[in-house]
Amino acid sequence: MFLLLGATLATAAATAAEPSHTWRSGPDPVPLLELFTSEGCSSCPPAEAWLAGLRHDPGLWRDFVPLAWHVTYWDRLGWPDRFANPAYTKRQYSYAAAWGSGRVYTPGVVRGGTEWSWRSGRALGASAAGARGGELIAELRDGALRVAYAPLGEPDAKDLEVHVALLGGAIVSDVRRGENRGRRLQHEFVVLAWTRASLRDGRGEMTLPEVPTDLKAGRRAVAVWVSRPGEPTPLQATGGWLE
């Protein structure tokens, strides 16, 4: 059984026409690079431009897995972000709680479960706190996504969860209200849909969530990561392009 997060998302199997893909991490920890952002935040476009630039980084998918969560708390300024979801906001608050803080902000970057400065210039793929490593394999075939995880330093993987996010890129938004009024924003690695499932003995199977029809993207990718139940910090991650 798997859970789709977001009232507008529907559970649906991937079509038979979906190409087959296999995404695989190595044994070393691969950090999940998470940007919390909003179209209503005037400070966010530079951080989004930085994230978009990672599309050409040679370490993409191999050394780090990037994604952008659009949060909801800027919607009050008059521009409802069409990519925002209360579940994504909740994820940011769960990180803040894990760090002993109730403060959230945008743009906010988390690398491997740790608060991180996107302006720091530090290596994106360096081992992150909380990451355990181990081989994570995700195979999309015949409409089903099959996941296998062999962790390092743990005898088994019985009590873990696997998360899958569908990402969109080559996205343009013309903002008409709020702090970014009159600006044309360009997005990459935007979370369009998110699903999670339990791993049993290191294995799980699910279908990809269906993206709402109003969320168009010029290119798509998948991010896959493993965590302990109820904890946001990823243990290992992998991902790649769908096209």
Identify the pLDDT of residue 207.
Answer: 87
Ranges in the chain, pLDDT < 50:
1-16
- Six token digits for residue 130: 């909380």
Helices marked H in 57-180: 86-98
Length of the chain: 243
pTM of the model: 0.87
Could you give the CA distance from residue 101 to residue 195 in angstroms, rounded to a whole number?
A: 26
Please report which helix (H) or strand (E) contains residue 66, including its range: strand 65-70
Identify the pLDDT of residue 10.
Answer: 37
Residues in CB range of 170: below 8 A, 6 or more apart: 188, 217, 218, 219
Helices marked H in the chain: 44-53, 86-98
- Mind listing the pLDDT tens digit for each residue in 211-225? 877 788 889 999 999
Identify the pLDDT of residue 71.
Answer: 98
Identify the pLDDT of residue 163.
Answer: 95
Neighbours of 234 (CB within 10 A): 28
Q: Amino acid letter at 109? A: V
Residue 218 φ/ψ region, left for φ over 0, alpha for ψ in the -120 to 50 degree band, beta for the rest: alpha
Identify the pLDDT of residue 130.
Answer: 52
Identify the pLDDT of residue 126.
Answer: 58
